[in-house]
Each structure stands twice: as C-alpha cells, then as structure tokens.
Structure 1
C-alpha cells in the first residue's frame, strides 16, 4: 500500500469551500511499521541464487541427455536398418531354397550325374550342382553377414540407451537437488513472509484509520453547512467519495461495486449532475484550471510522473490530500498530494463546476518505461518479464494482500481478483457458467512442489509468472484456440484489464490458450 518512503496523511488545513472557511480537525496518525520486505527480498535473492546455481547442473545434465538421446536414436535407426537387411537376406535364402526345392533341378541333376554312363554328362551335371551350391552359398553368407551387422547395431543401440538412462538419472538427481533446496528454504521464507504479512496488515489498519478520520472530519464539517451548501455539487461529490472509501479497485470499473480512478471521479460527479469527459487526458484538457493555493474540496487533482505522464485523477479533500480509486492501494483511499516531480506528483488541479476551458494538451511523459493507469503499471501483451509489485518477491506475496476470485481457493492480487469477478460475471451472462480456473497465484512452496513433479517443464521456484498473483490458467473451453469461449475472451478480456500474452499466442512456440494475465490497467 505504501511503497518507498512512509507517507503521512495530514488532514489539518484551512480550506475554502464555496466561500466558507473551515478548519479540518488535526489528527495524529502512527506511521506504518518499518518495512520487512527488504529482509524478505534479500533472503529470497540468496535462495534464488542457490536455485539458479543448482539449476545450472540440471541444464548441463539435460544437454548431456540430449546428446545421448540423439546418439541412441541414431543407433536405434541403424539397428533397425540392419535388422531389415538381415530379414531381407533371410528371405532371399528362403526364396532360393524354396525355388531349388520346387524345381527339383538340383535333385534331378544329381540323379542324372549318378546314373549317367558318359563322363561328359557326369562332369556337366556336377558343374551344375556346384553352381547351384555357389549361388545358394552366397545368399547364406550374405544373410550371415547381415545377422552379424544387425547384432552389432543392436549392441550399440543398447549401449546408447543405457547411457540415456544414466543421463536421465543425472537430470533427475540435479532436479531433485533444486527441489530439495527449495523445500529446505520453505520454513525460513515462511517465517520472513509472516513478518511482511504482519506489516501489510498494519498498513491496512493505518489506511482504514485514515479513511475513518477523513470521514469523521468531513461529517463534522457538514454540520457547519446549510442544507443548500451541503447539496452543492462540489460538496456532494466529496460526500459521495467519502461513502465509497474502501471500495475495491478494478481496471475500467465505474462502480458501485468497484472503481478505477477515472470511473470513480466520473461516477462521483455524475451522481450530483455534473458530466465529466470519459477519460483522464480530456478531463485535464478541458476542466477549468485552479492554482494549488486556491484548491477547494471537490476540485480534481491530476497525478502523474515524468516518465509515464498523466495517469491518475482524484477528488481533492483538503489542501494536502485527495480521494481516488488507487491502484497500488487496491481500493478507494485517501492519498497525500505530492509536489516532488521526482515521483508521482500533482500535475494540475481543475474545478469541474466552472465552465470548461479551451482544450489544452494533457501532460505526456518521456515514454521511458511502461505506461501507467491510476498508479498501476500497465503491461503490454508482448511483455514477458517480471511483474513485481509492493517489493514482494515472486511467490512470496503476503496472504493479506491477496483476495479470492470466487472460484475454489484461487486467489490473486486484490485488484486483479475484483477485475476477474467482473469479467467472469460478463462471461457467465453469455455462457451460463463462470470462468473455469485451474491455476492462479502460485506460492513459492507450490512452485517447488510443481518443479519436483515436472522438473523438465516447470519454472525454477521463484520465477513462475503465476508467482506475482496476476495470472490464471483457464478451462471450460477457454483452453482451446478457436473455441467460442476463447474467442469471447480475446474480444472482451481487455475491457476488464486482462489479456492473452503474445508469447502464448498460436505460432509463437509456447501455445497456451488457457493462460491469461492481468495487465494492470
């Protein structure tokens, strides 16, 4: 929820609202507990290096196995050819023997030789018998040579196969070492993760306290206003925003069950009769600008950074804070207005209750890095690298930072889970059943177990793309290219922030129609 330096939420300030000055009661908030993620990261990196080193032995053994398998395949092919040659020679011997027997030529020649009175006839018949024996003998000799060749080829094939078995055993032994290293690290990692989870719970409690104090401060302020003043659009929009505190964040959601920052601001103002442009850049472009010293509750604040440009919009609460559906917080939350351009900061303020200005360009970034939306990184379909968040290592996400997706025991990062639920509901309206899921978040221990079961095809523990709690493997028809279910996902998943990664598309070497990832925006 808080990343990097600790953020303070200061509610004490003097604000101007519809010409009325009011003082928000000061409130002291305890900082979240010191981050334990650094210790967990260091431990995970150390263990990961051991696994990578151990995996090198697996890769080497697999390379040796490949060589031995190719040799075995070649030997087996030669043995097969030799066996076929031997069979052909045997058939030829049999053929010749049968022909001689059926013709009776050799027998008749022998009888004639024995019964002949002429020496010339005896010699002629003897030569005939010798020629028959010579021809038949060649066939027998060829068959014998083929038999020897076949036996040698078979011996070579058996030897190569034995080497394959030895190489296979080496691969398994090396893989077992990786798995044992991973399992041995499990308890240590779990203990460290427990500390991180406790910190995350403390941060949740701190955020909840901020939300409660904000609501209390606003309720006290409303008592100072007349009914007409409280019903004014700017004031009413803040009241609506206060009521929505804690609602889950989901990409492209417009409420009331969940929101993203654009949908949140648009919905809060729509409820009080003020129509805002449908996207953040246009909201910035046309909303009447207000200087930072003059902001009032209900104004819009536009947040961005130098690289990504404008990516978030919120509703000003007071001079130092605003309310938005915040991606990193996974919920509608109170956030501090930052002014340091080295990070996310307020790029401008606007007052939607004033007439629109002539459009101006929205702030754009350098284009370095990935685009962002509502504080979340938005990953393109072509990206297949780390999707780390919250400074948590792969497969070591605090349990308190995960939410159920409503299917079995499957969990994802909370905004991804909420977006999945919305997508699954839309899917169910078409197919009559929710999206079927076989896999979601895969913890380090689960990755270790899977690696032990399938060392040849499973990722090294701590590197699975399921370890970021931002991916699912689907079933129920989605697992097949070209099905109606898969086609629906291709056409509609993006509306909910989900996509099918390019590497898993047909023809890209790792065809996985079942694998879908939350893009973050």
Structure 2
C-alpha cells in the first residue's frame, strides 16, 4: 500500500493527474485534459490528413514535372541531333547534285571539243583518218574508253545523288518525329503545370487553416512543458524541505543495504522514506540530475541524426545519452545499444527517471523517452519536432523499460524491424522514396514550409535558418571554406515558408518546385552565391570537392545535362 501512495504522489508532482492526501504538490491543470488542443497529427508526420494528401499529390506532380523535364531535355537533344543529321544529309544531297551536274558538264564539254575538232566522232572517221590499221584500232579503243569513263563517272554520281536524296528523306522524317515527341512532352508539361498550380492553390488554403492549429498546438505544448517543469521543481523542493539528500546510485542498488531511513520500493535503484507524515520517493542523485538537465532542454529543437546530443538540438537517444552522461551515468549512444545494455525493469516497477523504449514492434526499437510518471514521458520527439513532455504510449508501442542507475547487463538481442514500408526514428516517420526514386525530406510533425521557428537553427549567415543538424553542418563547412578563401560561404536562400514557395513558383514555374514539395520547405536546402552559382569556378570546385564531407550535395537533377541545371542548389542528407 505504501508503494502505491508513493507513485501516486510523484504522479501528482509531475503531471497533476489527481489530488490525494499525500500529494507532494498541489495539482495543476493537465495539458492533455479536455479543453486543451489535441494533437491530431497522423503517424505519417503531417499536421492534418487533408494537408498530407494534398502534399502527396503536389509531390507526385512535382516528380512528374521533374521526369518530364528530363524527358524534354532528352527530346530536345534528340531533336537537335535529328536536325543536325537532316541538315548534313541535305548538304550531302546538294553536294551529290553538284557532282552530277559537274559530270554532265564534263560530258558536254567533251562532246563540244570533239565535235569542234572532228565533227561527230565515230568509227568510220577513225578508219578514214588512220594512217595504219594499228592507228585505227588505237583510235577506236580510245574513243570507247573515253565514253565508258564519262558514263561511269556520271552513273556513280547519280547513284550517290539517289543515296543522298534517300538519306535526306529519312533524316527529315526522323526530325519530324523528334519534333512531334517534343511537342507532345510540351503539352504534357503544360497540363502538369496547370495541375501543379491548382493543387498549390488548394494546398495554400489548407495550410492557412493548419497554421492556426499548429500555433495552438505549440502553445498547448509549451504550457504542458512549463507545468511539468514546475511540478518537477516542486518535487525537488519537497525533498529539500524534508531534509533528504538524494544518495548516489550505487547506494540504492542493494535493497538489503540501503542508507538509514530508506526502505525498499519495488525493483532496486530507488527507495522511499517518510517525512512529516508523507511518503516520499527517493531517486538516486544521478537520476535527479539527469531529469533536471532534461527539463532544461524542453523546447529545444529535434534532429533525426544519432549525433543529436545538443546543446542546440537533440535526437531522442542523443538527449538520453547527454543528460545521463552529464549526471555521471555513462550510457551507450544509440537507442538500440541502450535497449541492449541497460538493466530492464518490469512495467509495475517503473519510476520517474527510467527509460521507455518505443516501437511498435514491427518497426523495431526506434525511440526512447525518460519516464516522468505512469502516463507521461519527456523525449526529443520527431513527430513534435522538439524536446517535449508527451504521453507515454500504450503497451503495443512500449517495448520495454530500463533503469540507467543500475549496472549494465551483457548486451541482449534488440527487436529488429519487420515492416519494410516505413522507417521510424524517435517517433517520426521517414517517408518512403517516390516512384521516381526521390526521397522525401519530411522529418517533423509539421507541413512543408510550416515548421516553427523553434525547430530551426541559424546558419550564421544573415537571417538564414535550417534544420538544426543541417545548420550546424553548414556552419562547419563555411568555416572550412573561410579558412582557405578568407570569406564565408554566400547564401541567397535557405528555409522557405509555404507562402514564400507560392510566390517563387508564381515567378519561376519552370525552376521552382511545386509549393509544399521543396526541400527548402524542410529546412534542408540552400541556394548559394559568391561564385558557387556558376559551373567551373574555383568556388564551385571547392564545394564539389569538400561539401560531401559535411553531408551536402548538389543533387543529380541539378547536374549538367539533366534539363534543370542549378549549380547553386545544395541539399543536406
């Protein structure tokens, strides 16, 4: 019975769920209670199902336009080759005409010359003019040979003329077919562009409605974070008022030898005590320090990479690794290793500061959060795009609990993903590649171009911002460039809001992505200047040679010969 009272007290302290006579702090409004703004976002990482579907449609149209751009570039190349071939065939036919005319002229001049000297030459004249039989034979042979040679030259020239004429006709037909293919692709592109404009207009209206919901959710989340942080501080104040100094983790690992005044509470690693008629939960000092540090990260942006250990932004496992490591408890860096090596605790024994490992099972161990009470956890959440207080999922999603304050166990098998359709990371979904092979940049719980400022970070150049890991990487790349050039990298565009995408698409429909599909809208792309915007410059050559080491690339569709050459456009992956 005492254990139940302790857990209830901590629940009230951290989240204000119920009021009991042993509550350690007055209950506070639960941010998830009726009247608060619910989180209606589906698991596919968008804020509203209608926005999600429109963005999918817009992405499909964008991929279609990209494919058509490549096909048009190929068709233009084929048409150019066909035209060049037709022109060359036309030139060869004209040359053949000239040769035929020349051969005919030779025969005409020969005839005129012979007629002028002898009249019409024939065998009888050769006989009468011959001085001997041998002269007659020589003259007859000469006349025959001259005639044969002239006829052969003319015949050969006429054959070449016929071949050149046939080749010209064939090349002209190929040129016409290439032009027809190009015109058909132009018509398809015009149709896709019209559909892109239509879906963009519809998406703009839906995003405007979603914007208000996002703002409301942000406010509700901020309030929930603040309430929980205040409740945690109230718990610490109760411990201090009772004169309780949290013992080190090692002192609570053996329930049979606890410090004076403490008694066992379920699994090893925590204890309880009585003070002023109340039962208090006693956590290890390291756990208290780690949870307190985690409270200090509330509101920080989320980044999906495993290197998200702060202090600017965090991934779920990076946050856990950082706050517990800073408190003196060394944890493995990745969620899989944490699951494999940390000491497990039964669901019935879970206490604040324990870790919850998240699935669902078909997606493997993809996330981790710090338990605050039976219903709540603190985590760097990919779907909510930040470090937040959120609901502890149900048993179909929680794959297990662990207590960092206990000694590590030998590594155990980690549940592996069996569903190959989606890749989950810290509660967020990486959308699968499109049929054209392009990977979506979706990473947070907000629509493209509607990512809150708190989830983005400055890159150190003007007012430009990106997703936080992309921003940190870009700053490092700019510093490396400045070390050799004496100046930082130059940027004209970075994160683009949805409205900015709409305006740019209206100005440059042939170049700009369909609104709601651009990687600029995910904070994962920059457009550059300062020489990088031109092929073959030293600045562009430096980017080609070095950007990959920082995770930046000039994507394939922007390369020369792809129809949409953009040397200035670079993306983070």
Q: Please point out which of 292, 306, 327 is paired with 1:239.
A: 292
Shift in Å, 1:143:
4.3
Q: Retained in 2: the 8 A contact 1:505–1:512? A: yes
Matches within 5 A, 1:141-152: 143=157, 150=164
Tell me the equivalent position of 2:16: 12
- Report the CA distance shift for 1:25/1:146 in structure 2 as closer, same or farther (over 3 A): same
- Report the CA distance shift for 1:95/1:239 in structure 2 as closer, same or farther (over 3 A): farther
- Report the CA distance shift for 1:153/1:312 in structure 2 as closer, same or farther (over 3 A): closer
Tell me the equivalent position of 1:25: 27
Q: Please point out which of 414, 424, 447 is paired with 2:474.
A: 424
2:561 matches 1:472: no
Q: Please point out which of 284, 307, 310 is paired with 1:255.
A: 310
Tell me the equivalent position of 1:353: 405
Matches within 5 A, 1:170-185: 170-185=184-199
Query: What's the secondary structure of 1:318's corresponding residue?
Result: coil
Tell me the equivalent position of 1:276: 331
Query: What's the secondary structure of 1:453's corresponding residue?
Result: coil
Identify which range, 428-437 or 126-135, moves more after superposition: 126-135
Tell me the equivalent position of 1:374: 426
Tell me the equivalent position of 2:182: 168
Q: Structure 2, unaligned stretches of length 5 or more?
A: 1-13, 42-46, 248-284
Shift in Å, 1:164:
4.5
How big is each residue's C-alpha offset from its partner over 1:472-500, in whole Å with a ceiling of 9 and x where there is no partner? 367677989x966445444453xxxx789
Tell me the equivalent position of 2:279: none
Q: How many residue pairs were aligned?
A: 484
- For the aligned residue pairs, the C-alpha RMSD in angstroms reads 5.5
How big is each residue's C-alpha offset from its partner over 1:308-335, in whole Å with a ceiling of 9 and x where there is no partner? 3222233222332121222222211112
Tell me the equivalent position of 2:266: none
Shift in Å, 1:372:
3.6
Tell me the equivalent position of 2:227: 213
Q: Please point out which of 317, 328, 332 is paired with 2:383.
A: 328
Matches within 5 A, 1:36-435: 37-42=48-53, 75-76=86-87, 78-86=89-97, 110=118, 119-121=128-130, 132=146, 135-136=149-150, 139-140=153-154, 143=157, 150=164, 154=168, 157=171, 161=175, 164-165=178-179, 167-226=181-240, 229=245, 232-250=285-303, 251=305, 252-341=307-396, 344-345=397-398, 347-350=400-403, 352-366=404-418, 368-377=420-429, 384-386=438-440, 388=442, 396-398=448-450, 400=452, 403=456, 406=459, 417-432=467-482
- Report the CA distance shift for 1:380/1:173 in structure 2 as closer, same or farther (over 3 A): closer
- Report the CA distance shift for 1:39/1:428 in structure 2 as closer, same or farther (over 3 A): closer
Q: Retained in 1: the 8 A contact 2:526–2:570? A: yes
Q: Structure 1, unaligned stretches of length 5 or more?
A: 1-9
Shift in Å, 1:466:
3.3
Matches of 2:61 and 2:433, distance apart in 1: 31
Matches of 2:126 and 2:312, distance apart in 1: 119
Query: What's the secondary structure of 1:347's corresponding residue?
Result: strand
User: TM-score if structure 1 supplies the norm length?
Assistant: 0.70
- Report the CA distance shift for 1:224/1:176 in structure 2 as closer, same or farther (over 3 A): same
Query: What's the secondary structure of 2:395's corresponding residue?
Result: coil
Matches of 1:490 and 1:117, distance apart in 2: 89
How big is each residue's C-alpha offset from its partner over 1:232-262, in whole Å with a ceiling of 9 and x where there is no partner? 3222222221121111122212222222222
Shift in Å, 1:75:
4.9
Query: What's the secondary structure of 1:307's corresponding residue?
Result: helix
Query: What's the secondary structure of 1:310's corresponding residue?
Result: coil
Q: Retained in 2: the 8 A contact 1:321–1:336? A: yes
Matches of 1:400 and 1:338, distance apart in 2: 25
Shift in Å, 1:215:
1.8
